């Protein structure tokens, strides 16, 4: 009887060990699969501004901005959107093979500013070469295209003394700053939360240097981050501080 009890005990132990090993193996495989196959930050949209309007499709592309400069953090960068500011941004991070493409939705303020600059340049009718007489390719090359009423014009330059042409490239650079930051933060939020306080510092720097096109455009996202318990308290508190600073600047 004692021997039979011991045999049953051994079988029970082996069976329990098999279950535990199976669960551990399944968890490990699932983790490996998620790590291997999922794009970092895929669960977080790079553009939280259009969450409520996902059923609204972008119209024909009317504006295209391209920036290229090997060795920059993000190059090439391509922004294309319709007259209402809906479209996509495509970019590649230095040192990585993957090309990222995310939806883009510009605020009415940003669209209005772009329209004013294009109008000031009389972009479609102008034949002006905005490129300065000296070449500054080391700063990065810009290409801007406008399509309207069956007409199209592209201007390329890397440095210009034309005030409005400079404002145009700077405005698109601000847009690129916003959306590459959103992508980076989305990756960190999902995979490396401890990086997010430093990334809040980076956004703070952008805002102080006026390198974000329309800061209130970020308020819904920052509000979401301020209560996300996956993030360190330091990052959440910094999000609250940025919200207060942006709202204060609106008054």
Residue 90's φ and ψ, nearest 5 degrees, are -125, 135
Q: What is the pTM of this model?
A: 0.80
CB atoms within 10 A of CB 36: 7
Burial class (CB in 10 A: 0-12, 13-18, 19+), 37: exposed
Domain ranges within the chain, ordered by starting residue: 52-162
Which CATH class name applies to 52-162?
alpha beta
Contact indicator for 158, 131 with CB cutoff of 8 Å: yes
3-state secondary structure of 239: helix
Q: Please enumerate in sequence order all residues whose Cβ is within 8 A of that of 174, keeping only pairs 6 or more positions apart, or say none.
A: 210, 211, 212, 213
Quickly tell me which residue has 């990086």 as its tokens. Answer: 195
> What tens-digit pLDDT sequence spans the chain (251 residues)?
444 444 444 444 444 344 333 333 333 333 333 333 334 433 344 445 554 455 578 889 999 999 999 888 999 999 999 999 999 999 999 888 899 999 999 999 999 999 999 999 999 999 999 999 999 999 999 999 999 999 999 999 999 999 999 999 999 999 999 999 999 999 999 999 999 999 999 999 999 999 999 999 999 999 999 999 999 999 999 999 999 999 998 87
pLDDT at position 48: 57
């Amino acid at each position: 009887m004692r021997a039979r009890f011991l045999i049953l005990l051994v079988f029970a132990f082996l069976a329990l060990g098999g279950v535990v090993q199976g669960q551990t193996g399944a968890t490990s495989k699932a983790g490996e699969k998620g790590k291997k196959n999922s794009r970092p930050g895929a669960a977080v949209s790079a553009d939280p501004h259009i969450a409520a309007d996902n059923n609204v499709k972008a119209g024909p592309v009317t504006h295209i901005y391209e920036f290229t400069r090997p060795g920059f953090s993000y190059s090439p960068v391509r922004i294309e959107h319709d007259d209402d500011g809906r479209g996509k941004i495509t970019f590649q991070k230095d040192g990585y093979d993957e090309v990222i493409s995310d939806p883009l939705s510009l605020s009415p303020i940003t669209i209005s500013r772009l329209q004013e600059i294009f109008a000031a340049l009389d972009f479609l009718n102008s034949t002006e070469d905005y490129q300065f007489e000296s070449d500054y390719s080391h700063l990065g090359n810009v290409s801007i295209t406008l399509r309207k009423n069956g007409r199209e014009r592209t201007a390329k330059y890397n440095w210009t003394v034309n005030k409005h042409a400079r404002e145009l490239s700077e405005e698109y650079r601000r847009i690129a700053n916003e959306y590459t930051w959103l992508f980076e933060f989305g990756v960190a939020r999902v995979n490396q939360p401890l990086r997010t306080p430093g990334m809040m510092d980076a956004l703070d720097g952008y805002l102080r240097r006026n390198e974000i096109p329309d800061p209130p455009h970020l308020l819904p996202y920052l509000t979401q981050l301020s209560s996300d318990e996956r993030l360190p308290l330091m990052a959440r508190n910094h999000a609250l501080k940025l919200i207060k600073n942006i709202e204060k600047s609106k008054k």
